[in-house]
Each structure stands twice: as structure tokens, then as C-alpha cells.
């Protein structure tokens, strides 16, 4: 397998914070790598260096060993609102169009836009956040680059778009390095997990479960080695504490080895994980949660909700799914009372205490410190904001760290109704796992808008599925069960359509050559006529006996049995007579 990329001794830090230092690794042709690390530890910085958008602090080298084309999908996609979709993609694809037929390149783009249900003539300023992300991905895929570098490709995508991208990357022979929090996407697309941990890189071949297993082994081995070093250190410490006279003659190399041992012995590996165990219990919840009665809502001539009737129940867990721009975020705004329905009623129970996690996030004061935003050092520590970060300004936090802080401001209010609008965006996988465990134990009603299939499968009991014209259908089951149902339904629908479309070909009925009865068949036909006459006479005689009612019980029973047998014999004889008569006619 040919090596595409060699990374040697690259480093990155921001002020006193070292993200990674002198790291090295290879990327081989055909590798599909998921880069995993906690938020704020340098994933995006590393990817920008590999894509040539940033530089290593310490020099080092990023060597591409073949002449390959690289396409980089960043989290933020820049554009002018007045740009058309096609114009924006073509302007961003310039380097990839050299030597390519421009008509072929536009055809390639239009095919991708069709898959994403976006018009090339649409203005970028008119698109939703999810639609902008689809344009960015269409631009990346249209390059047909050899090496894709992707930073959270599934963020803001609806489920249909995620499944299309997943299928595309599964089939593609491209080399891939990406950051993703979507565990299904990771397992179905990637063959390697690369971990950035404590400033070092570790590579694991296989899926996410294999990564977790091998990572635990690595940490256990490291800590076991630390224990051995400490035992050696104790012996060396006794030697160092020998009499001053003896100490003056000690070898310098042994003294230096002692200090090296002491430093290594202090390096116990600890895994920092989000701790939600003491965030607080949810408030007591009454029987009335949210009642929707014939509720409708339209915005700019677009129906978001049409005559919706539903009563949310205590401890219910419901997922909200539908394509981008269909109105899911508007719907949760209606549930929270931030938006009023055009007609109908949406009423909230008196005991309901809402925790509403917006998709766009809270508008923090960027000049405030972490501690000024949440004045609780204990909770901040449990949310992975250690003492040295408390005086960091919000503007210095990564996107994932801001999301984590925002989540803390929601949960510390102890809500009994949690409405989470795309909570998985920008959160790392480890944080998501802990959040899932917390939500599984949450003693309240849970409403989740999410494109994360694993998240939905673990947490919700049923789905409210959004369709056009404000129609909402309730599906009992997980997201995976819903998609299986839809695929089976669509496959059957297509099968029936194919059957209808197939022309009915009428074959001409050619007359079969006329044949005559054989001598044997003629004799059989004559005998059948005699037999049928005889059988009919016997049948009439028995009918008279049965109709007269005379005779003993046994005589009547025998006559009845014979009558049934006669009918069967007559039927057989008549069928054979008809068959022979057709031949002879």
C-alpha cells in the first residue's frame, strides 16, 4: 500500500497551551481515518496544517509522496450571499478544473446538487445552514480529489444527506482523514481510528469499538509501566540519600537517570471525562406537559405545521426528524412558547420547567471568562473545565468547548422537560457517550431534534416525522427501524411501478392442429355415455329413497354414503366425456 503523506515533528500551541508537540504519522493510499480527540485539543488545527491552511510552530514537515489532489471541507464555508450556488462551487473548484471539460465538470456538480435537492441557480443567501453545508459537500465531492480532509462533515446535515454522503464515501476509492462525532458514520466509512491524546498520536486499525478496547489496553499498560518505574525509583532514592561523602563520588549518569525516573514516575495517565452525576435532579413533573390542539403555523407562505394534534406525555422520549429547512427548529420554538401558532392552541403544563438547547447556541459575552459565565468551580470541573481554564475568555474556547459550556448552563437549571435541538454538533464522541448515559437516566420528558442516528436509537421511543405542507406522522420505534420501514416501503412501491410500466404483450393464439379420436378413445367415449346413463338412473333411485324417509337407520346411512360416491363418479365421468368430446368435435 503506497504512502500518500508523511508527517514529521509538527507542533501547535496557542499561548501557554500546547495542543500537540513533535507528532509524526503516515497516511497510506486507501486509508479512511477518523481523527478522535476531546474538544479543544487540536483536531481542527492539525487538519488545517495538513491541508496547507496553517503552519506548524516548530517547523517539521508535511510531505505528500505522490502528486495528489487534496480537497478540504472546513466547518465554516465562506460565501457571498449574492452568489449563486453554481457560481460559488465553480469559484471554489478552480484548481480542480484544469484539464477537465467544463461541461463535464458542471454536469458532475449538477448531479450532486440534484442528490442534495438544491438548485444551482439559487442564491446562497437564501439557503438554510443545512443547505449551505450540502453545497460545501457538493463542491468537495465534485473535485473527485484523491485525498479528502473533512472536519465534521455531518454537522447540520439532515439524515437523508448523511446517508447519501455515507454511501458515496463507502463506494469511493479516495483516501480520507476526517473528524466526526457520528458513530454510525465512522464505523460504516472508516477503517482506521487515529487518536490525538495528550499531544501524541496513536493509530488503531478497525472500528470504534476496537479503538475503545485497544485504547484501554494502552492506558492500562502505560500505568502498569509507571508502577514498575516507581518501584525502581524507590531503590534509587535510597541510593541518592546515602551519606554525603559517598554521594560526591556517585556517577553523573546515574544521577541523571534518577531525575529521568522521577519525571517518568509522576506521569500517571488519567482519562478526563465529562461527569454529569451531580448536575442536579430534575424538578417534579405533573401530568400535563404540552398539549397541541389543531395547531397550525406558516412562515412566508410556507406551511410548517398543519392542524397538529398531540399531547406530550410525562417521561416521553420523542425524536424529531425531517429534511433540512422543513421546520423542525420552528416547531420546537412553538413548543417552548417562543413562537405563537397561527391558529389552534399549544399549552404548557404549570409544573413544566423547560431546558431548551438551541441549535444556534447561546450568545455568550465573548469577553467574559469561563468562571464569570458559570460561577461554580465544582460543576465546571465536572464539565472538563479545569482550574487553569477558568480565567480563559469565551473567545478563546473551541466550538466544542463553547457547546459544552452552553450545555452546562441548561442542565444546571434542573429542567423536567429537555428540548434539545441538534445537541450533538461540535461535541466530541467521548462527551456524547456520557451525555447519552445522563439522558437515559433523565427523569423527565425528552424531545430531541437530531441527525445523529446512534443518538436517536439509544434515547427515543418514537419519532415525529416531518413532511411537506406541515404534515407530521408518528412512527413508533427507533430511527434505524424507521429507515428500514421506509426502504422496504419504497422498494415495494418501485416494484409495483415497474410492474405497471411493463407493457402487456399479447401473444397471438395459433390454432393447434386438429386431431381425431383414436379407436381406443372412441370406445372409451361410448362406454362413458353408457356409464353416465347407468349412474344417473342409480342416483335418481337413491334420491327417491332419501326423499321418502322410509327404511331403517342403516339403510338410510348406506344410501347417503352411496349418493356421495355416485356424485364423485359422475363428476369424473362427465369431465372425461367433455375432454374427449372437445377432441372429437
Write out pLDDT tens, residues 17-51.
889 999 999 999 999 999 999 888 899 999 999 99
Q: Provide the pLDDT for residue 261.
A: 60
Label residues 157-171 b or e (16+ Cβ within 10 Å = b). bbbbbbbbbbeebee
- Fold agreement between 3-212 and 290-491: yes
Task: Give the three-state DSSP class for 132.
Answer: helix
**What gap in Å lies between CA 161 and CA 156, rounded to an integer?**
10
Enumerate residues 6+ apart whose C-beta is below 8 A from 373: 364, 365, 394, 405, 409
Q: How remote is the C-alpha of 273 from its chain's centroid?
A: 23
Class for the domain spanning 290-491: alpha beta
pLDDT at 467: 92
Are 338 and 400 spatial neighbours (Cβ–Cβ below 8 Å)?
no
- Residue 296 near residue 308 (C-beta atoms within 8 A): yes
* pLDDT attached to residue 457: 95
Per-residue pLDDT tens digits of the chain, which is 585 residues long: 678 899 999 999 887 788 999 999 999 999 999 999 988 889 999 999 999 999 999 888 999 888 889 999 998 899 999 999 999 999 988 888 888 888 889 999 999 999 998 999 999 999 988 899 999 999 999 999 999 999 999 998 999 999 999 999 999 999 999 999 999 999 999 999 999 988 889 999 999 999 999 998 988 888 788 777 677 767 667 666 665 545 555 566 655 666 666 666 666 666 666 777 767 667 778 889 999 999 999 988 889 999 999 999 999 999 999 988 899 999 999 999 999 999 999 999 999 999 999 887 677 889 999 999 999 898 888 888 888 889 999 998 888 889 889 998 998 888 999 999 999 988 888 888 888 988 998 999 999 999 999 999 999 999 999 999 999 999 999 999 999 988 888 888 888 887 777 766 555 554 555 667 777 778 888 888 888 888 888 888 877 776 665 666 567 667 777 877 887 788 788 878 777 777 766
Pairing of the two strands 3-14 and 417-421: unpaired
Least Cα distance to 159 among 457, 560, 438 occurs for 457
Whole-number Cα distances in Å, 369 to 210, 308, 392, 396? 38, 44, 5, 9
CB burial of residue 404 (10 Å; 0-12, 13-18, 19+): buried
What is d(CA 190, CA 476) in angstroms, rounded to the nearest whole number? 31
DSSP designation for 191: S
CA–CA separation, 359 and 373 (whole Å): 19
SS3 540: helix
The Cα 14–Cα 401 span in angstroms is 15
Say if CB 53 and CB 72 are below 8 A apart: yes
Q: How far apart are CA 320 and CA 327, in angstroms?
A: 10
CA distances in angstroms from 508 to 503, 505, 511, 583, listed in the order given? 15, 10, 9, 22
Superfamily of domain 3-212: P-loop containing nucleotide triphosphate hydrolases (3.40.50.300)
H helix count then E strand count, the chain: 18, 18
Q: So what's the pLDDT on residue 280? A: 64
pLDDT at residue 296, as a whole number: 96
Q: Rg of the Cα trace of the chain?
A: 38
Closest C-alpha among 469, 475, 431, 470 to residue 452: 431
Residue ranges per domain, the chain?
Answer: 3-212, 290-491, 519-584
Three-state SS at 66? coil
Residues 6+ apart with CB under 8 A from 107: none
SS3 labels along 394-458: HHHCCHHHHHHHHHHHHHCCCCCEEEEECCCCCCCHHHHHHHHHHHHCCCCEEEEECCCHHHHHH
Strands of 175-179's sheet, edge to edge?
70-73, 147-151, 175-179, 32-36, 192-197, 200-205
pLDDT at residue 388, rounded to an integer: 86
Give the pLDDT confidence score for residue 111 in this predicted structure: 92
* Nearest one of 372, 369, 370 to 383, comparing CA atoms: 370
Asked if residues 154 and 182 have their Cβ atoms less than 8 Å apart, the reply is yes
Distance CA 204, CA 34 (A): 10
Amino acid at each position: 500500500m503506497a504512502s500518500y503523506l508523511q508527517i514529521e515533528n509538527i507542533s501547535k500551541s496557542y499561548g501557554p497551551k500546547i495542543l500537540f508537540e513533535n507528532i509524526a504519522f503516515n497516511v497510506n493510499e486507501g486509508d479512511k481515518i477518523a481523527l478522535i480527540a476531546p474538544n479543544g485539543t487540536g483536531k481542527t488545527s492539525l487538519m488545517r496544517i495538513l491541508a496547507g491552511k496553517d503552519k506548524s510552530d516548530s517547523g517539521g514537515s508535511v510531505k505528500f509522496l505522490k502528486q495528489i489532489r487534496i480537497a478540504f471541507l472546513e466547518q465554516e464555508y465562506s460565501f457571498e450571499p449574492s452568489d449563486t450556488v453554481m457560481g460559488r462551487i465553480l469559484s471554489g473548484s478552480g484548481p480542480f478544473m484544469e484539464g477537465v471539460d467544463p461541461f463535464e465538470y458542471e454536469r458532475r456538480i449538477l448531479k450532486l446538487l440534484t442528490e442534495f435537492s438544491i438548485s444551482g441557480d439559487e442564491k446562497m443567501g437564501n439557503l438554510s445552514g443545512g443547505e449551505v453545508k450540502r453545497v460545501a459537500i457538493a463542491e468537495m465531492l465534485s473535485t473527485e480529489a484523491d485525498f479528502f480532509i473533512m472536519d465534521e462533515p455531518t454537522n447540520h446535515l439532515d439524515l437523508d444527506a448523511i446517508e447519501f454522503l455515507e454511501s458515496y464515501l463507502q463506494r469511493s476509492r479516495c483516501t480520507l482523514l476526517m473528524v466526526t462525532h457520528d458513530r454510525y458514520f465512522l464505523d460504516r466509512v472508516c477503517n482506521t481510528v487515529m487518536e490525538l491524546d495528550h499531544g501524541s498520536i496513536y493509530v488503531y486499525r478497525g472500528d470504534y469499538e476496537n479503538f475503545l478496547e485497544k485504547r484501554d489496553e494502552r492506558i492500562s499498560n502505560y500505568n502498569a509501566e509507571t508502577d514498575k518505574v516507581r518501584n525502581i525509583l524507590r531503590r534509587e532514592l535510597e541510593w541518592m540519600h546515602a551519606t554525603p561523602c559517598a554521594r560526591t563520588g556517585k556517577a553523573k549518569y546515574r544521577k541523571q537517570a534518577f531525575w529521568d525516573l522521577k519525571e517518568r514516575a509522576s506521569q500517571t495517565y488519567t482519562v478526563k471525562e465529562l461527569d454529569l452525576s451531580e448536575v442536579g435532579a430534575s424538578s417534579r413533573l405533573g401530568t400535563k406537559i404540552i398539549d397541541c390542539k389543531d395547531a397550525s403555523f406558516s412562515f412566508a407562505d410556507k406551511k410548517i405545521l398543519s392542524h397538529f394534534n398531540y399531547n406530550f406525555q410525562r417521561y416521553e422520549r420523542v425524536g424529531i426528524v425531517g429534511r433540512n429547512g422543513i421546520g423542525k427548529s420552528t416547531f420546537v420554538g412553538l413548543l417552548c412558547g417562543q413562537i405563537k401558532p397561527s391558529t389552534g392552541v399549544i399549552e404548557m403544563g404549570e409544573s413544566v420547567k423547560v431546558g431548551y438547547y438551541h441549535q444556534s447556541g447561546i450568545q455568550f459575552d465573548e469577553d467574559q471568562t469561563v468562571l464569570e459565565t458559570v460561577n461554580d468551580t465544582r460543576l465546571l470541573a465536572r464539565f472538563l473545565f479545569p482550574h487553569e481554564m477558568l480565567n480563559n475568555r469565551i473567545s478563546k474556547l473551541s466550538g466544542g468547548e463553547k457547546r459544552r459550556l452552553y450545555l452546562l448552563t441548561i442542565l444546571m437549571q434542573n429542567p423536567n422537560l429537555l428540548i434539545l435541538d441538534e445537541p450533538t454538533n461540535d461535541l466530541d464522541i467521548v462527551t456524547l457517550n456520557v451525555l447519552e448515559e445522563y439522558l437515559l437516566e433523565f427523569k423527565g420528558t425528552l424531545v430531541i431534534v437530531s441527525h445523529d442516528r446512534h443518538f436517536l436509537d439509544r434515547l427515543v421511543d418514537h419519532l415525529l416525522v416531518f413532511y411537506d405542507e406541515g404534515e407530521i406522522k408518528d412512527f413508533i420505534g427507533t430511527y434505524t427501524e424507521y429507515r428500514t420501514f421506509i426502504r422496504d416501503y419504497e422498494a415495494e412501491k418501485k416494484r409495483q411501478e415497474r410492474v405497471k410500466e411493463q407493457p402487456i404483450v399479447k401473444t397471438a393464439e395459433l390454432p393447434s392442429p386438429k386431431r381425431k379420436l383414436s379407436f381406443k378413445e372412441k370406445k372409451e367415449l361410448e362406454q362413458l355415455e353408457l356409464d353416465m346413463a347407468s349412474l344417473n338412473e342409480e342416483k335418481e333411485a337413491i334420491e327417491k329413497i332419501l326423499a321418502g324417509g322410509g327404511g331403517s337407520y342403516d339403510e338410510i346411512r348406506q344410501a347417503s354414503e352411496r349418493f356421495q360416491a355416485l356424485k364423485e363418479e359422475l363428476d369424473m365421468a362427465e369431465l372425461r366425456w367433455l375432454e374427449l368430446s372437445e377432441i372429437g368435435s
